[in-house]
């Protein structure tokens, strides 16, 4: 397996440094500064937050280079940017630009409906989304150094994130109960390489950090993700689509650090202005579900 190579170790190393933190979606330098001041461990540069992509439609692409550069100049924390699923050229451009992490993201319009980027070919680390363990292990095989459960981006509704976190955790637990012979059919079922399936069975966890994303709108939403095994949380529309981004951002950061202490979560939840309005997932058509992009 590729986990011992120095190249892969420094990729996963940066993911390790982001644990217990909050990664916030930002569309310009002013938002990036607010995020950094609120205590974000990293920012994600994109052209529109997922809620706007959903509302406005059209093809969602990698953010404008000038915007990403402006964000990189403004903050001292790591800057991530999104490329479309399978868009090798966007990935190479972002790598050349020097972003710290690339999110090959279902939030943007996929460029390839069958293949993801072969991420070993890039020096920059990648994070990818997953809905279940098999999907996570396929992305790790391709070279992802960090996973995030997909949730449903731009929905302000945590239900899909919970579904995906629970699915990953349940499948990992199940592998722990199987013997080696039984891991072969398990790998077949998961559509994932046997070596990775065996790794998870032995260690009870993914070989890379697993964060949560999609639908986080409140400190309690973020804490729920941590309770279900996420090691960090991405917040997309939840901050800058709320009525009080700076304060809400700070509250979510504190809640993630102190997720095991309900007294702190209560304290930071007091006095927040309105959260983003959310969507009823049941009313979305399959085509409207961003989490179904990629496989």
Number of residues in contact with another protein under rule CB under 8 A: 47
- Interaction mask 201-240, another protein, x per CB under 8 A: -xxxx-x---------------------------------
**Which three-class secondary structure state does DSSP give residue 70?**
helix
The DSSP element (H or E) to which 235 belongs, if any, is: strand 233-235
Q: Does 156 bind another protein (CB under 8 A)?
A: no
**How far is the C-alpha of 4 from the C-alpha of 16, rounded, in Å?**
15
Stretch that binds another protein, among 153-161, 211-219, 252-260, 277-285 (CB under 8 A): 252-260
Q: Which two tokens stand for residue 138?
A: 């396929």
For residues 268 and 281, which CB has a smaller minimum distance to another protein in the complex?
A: 268
Sequence-distant (6+) residues with CB within 8 A of 261 are: none
Q: Does 100 bind another protein (CB under 8 A)?
A: yes
Q: Do the beta carbons of residue 266 and residue 255 sit within 8 Å?
A: no
For residues 247 and 258, which CB has a smaller minimum distance to another protein in the complex?
A: 258
Strands 210-212 and 22-26, how do they pair?
unpaired
Mind spelling out the 3-state secondary structure of 130-145? ECCHHHHHHHHHHCCC
Stretch that binds another protein, among 96-104, 111-119, 168-176, 236-244 (CB under 8 A): 96-104
**How far is the C-alpha of 87 from the C-alpha of 29, rounded, in Å?**
25
**How far is the C-alpha of 6 from the C-alpha of 48, rounded, in Å?**
35
Footprint on residues 128-147 left by another protein (CB under 8 A): none
From the candidates 67, 82, 150, 254, which is the catalytic residue? Answer: 82
Q: Does 93 bind another protein (CB under 8 A)?
A: no
Is 82 labeled as catalytic in the residue annotation?
A: yes
Tell me how far, at minimum, the Cβ of 124 lies from another protein, in Å. Answer: 6
Stretch that binds another protein, among 10-18, 130-138, 164-172, 275-283 (CB under 8 A): 10-18
CA dihedral 205, 133, 109, 159 (to 10 degrees): -90
Of 64, 102, 68, nearest in space to 85 by CA:
102
Query: Which one of 73, 89, 98, 182 is in contact with another protein (CB under 8 A)?
Result: 98
Q: Which residues are catalytic?
A: 82
Q: Which residues bind another protein (CB under 8 A)?
A: 1, 3-4, 6, 8-10, 12-14, 16-21, 36-42, 72, 76-78, 95, 98-101, 123-125, 199, 202-205, 207, 250, 253-254, 257-258, 261
């Amino acid at each position: 397996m590729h986990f011992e190579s120095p190249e892969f170790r420094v990729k996963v190393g940066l993911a390790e440094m982001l644990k217990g933190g909050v990664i916030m979606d930002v569309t310009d330098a002013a938002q990036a500064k607010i995020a950094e001041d609120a205590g974000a461990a990293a920012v994600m540069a994109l052209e529109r937050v997922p809620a706007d992509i959903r509302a406005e439609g059209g093809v969602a692409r990698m953010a404008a280079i000038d915007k990403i550069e402006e964000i990189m100049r403004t903050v001292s924390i790591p800057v991530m940017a999104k490329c479309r699923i399978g868009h090798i050229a966007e990935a190479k451009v972002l790598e050349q630009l020097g972003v710290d992490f690339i999110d090959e993201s279902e939030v943007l319009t996929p460029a390839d409906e069958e293949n993801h980027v072969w991420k070993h070919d890039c020096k920059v680390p990648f994070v990818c989304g997953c809905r279940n363990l098999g999907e996570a292990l396929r992305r790790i095989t391709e070279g992802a150094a960090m996973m995030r459960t997909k949730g449903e981006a731009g929905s302000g509704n945590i239900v899909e994130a919970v579904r995906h976190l629970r699915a990953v955790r349940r499948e990992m637990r199940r592998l722990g109960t199987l013997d080696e012979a039984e891991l072969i059919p398990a790998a077949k079922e998961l559509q994932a390489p046997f070596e990775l399936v065996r790794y998870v069975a032995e260690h009870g966890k993914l070989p890379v950090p697993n964060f949560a994303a999609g639908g986080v709108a409140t400190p309690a939403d973020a804490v729920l993700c941590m309770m279900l095994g996420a090691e960090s949380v991405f917040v997309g529309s939840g901050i800058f689509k709320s009525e009080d981004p700076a304060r809400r951002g700070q509250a979510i950061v504190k809640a993630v650090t102190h997720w095991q202490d309900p007294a702190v979560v209560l304290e930071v939840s007091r006095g927040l202005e309105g959260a983003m309005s959310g969507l009823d997932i049941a009313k979305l058509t399959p085509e409207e579900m961003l989490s179904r992009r990629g496989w």
